[in-house]
Chain A
């Protein structure tokens, strides 16, 4: 690892600047889809009536999706990660400071992995 970093600064720079055509295509698709969602509502509003019911359903999507990501991820992890997740949640909730929460979480997971 230390050898690699010493001997390949040039190829590392090349790697940092590389743009894989397929990756660029996926990013472009994501950008188009996202822009469509950003302008779609305004565009659609002039055509159809969005019910409050539908709006309530869409409003829970972001939180629900993040929960759906975390559930299986944490279920597959161990006590060290569970403990660190609690640390992150408490710091994020109390301080509203994302960087502080992340640093706390990473320190906690290293500490707990040493303990358990």
Chain B
């Protein structure tokens, strides 16, 4: 567990970058510092939290937020399932506790560690604690900074959200196989946005791309 924590610290510092951005954006969306921190502490899933505060409005579009969170995080089911062989010697309590702290970054590190045959079942937990700590603290810092910034358009801070997603795209790019599903998602989103009110185009784009992928799989 300690090894997991230490290995993950450099990665967790990167996570803190997203955390600060999330805090700023959450604050600008109208969440208090406490609410932003609560979300980071209990949801522990960066991309879906950023998308949720992007959807945030008055009144809160609850359905869109919860469904989109589900869609964005469905991948965790696969990631958790992939760890199954290494969980066999842990108690159910340890397994389900570790999974709460599972995020993309520490999952990737855990898979790498376990493939080397270390058998360190607590690696996910240790790295998860590192991620969680940095994530929550950086959210608070970002939310406090967001309050100081004031009018977001003045210094270009309104652009942070777009910038975060552009950076995420650069990170999620997985070679040429990504191109077609992304183009389909983009086209569907643009079309849906012009036809339907609200933010349903986000789910429409994602579902269209996933459907295409299921159909064309060989």
Contact = CB atoms under 8 A, between A and B. Distances in A.
Nearest to B209: A64
A66 B18 CA distance: 15
A70 B72 contact: no
Given A52-B217, A58-B78, A68 B35 contact: no
A65 interface: yes
Interface of A: 1, 5, 12, 15-20, 22-24, 26-31, 33-35, 37-42, 44-45, 50, 52-75, 77, 81, 84-85, 88-89, 92-93, 96-99, 101-102, 105-107, 109-110, 113
B38 interface: yes
12 contacts: A16-B144, A56-B217, A57-B211, A66-B47, A68-B203, A69-B202, A75-B190, A84-B162, A93-B173, A106-B156, A106-B163, A110-B155
B201 A65 contact: no
Interface string B28-60: 000111110011001111011101101000001
A88 B166 CA distance: 7
Contacts, number: 280
A84 B162 CA distance: 10
A1 B70 contact: no
Q: How large is the interface on B (under 10, 10 to 19, 20 to 34, 35 or more residues)?
A: 35 or more
Given A63-B181, A67-B186, A106-B157, A34 B32 contact: no
Interface string B55-74: 00000101001101111111
B99 A67 contact: no
A56 B75 CA distance: 10
B38 A19 contact: yes
B145 to A, nearest CB: 12
A38 B42 CA distance: 13
A50 to B, nearest CB: 7
B76 A38 contact: yes
Contacts of B42: 27-28, 30-31
B78 A70 contact: no
Interface in B137-191: 143-144, 147, 150-151, 155-157, 159-160, 162-174, 178, 181-182, 184-186, 188-190
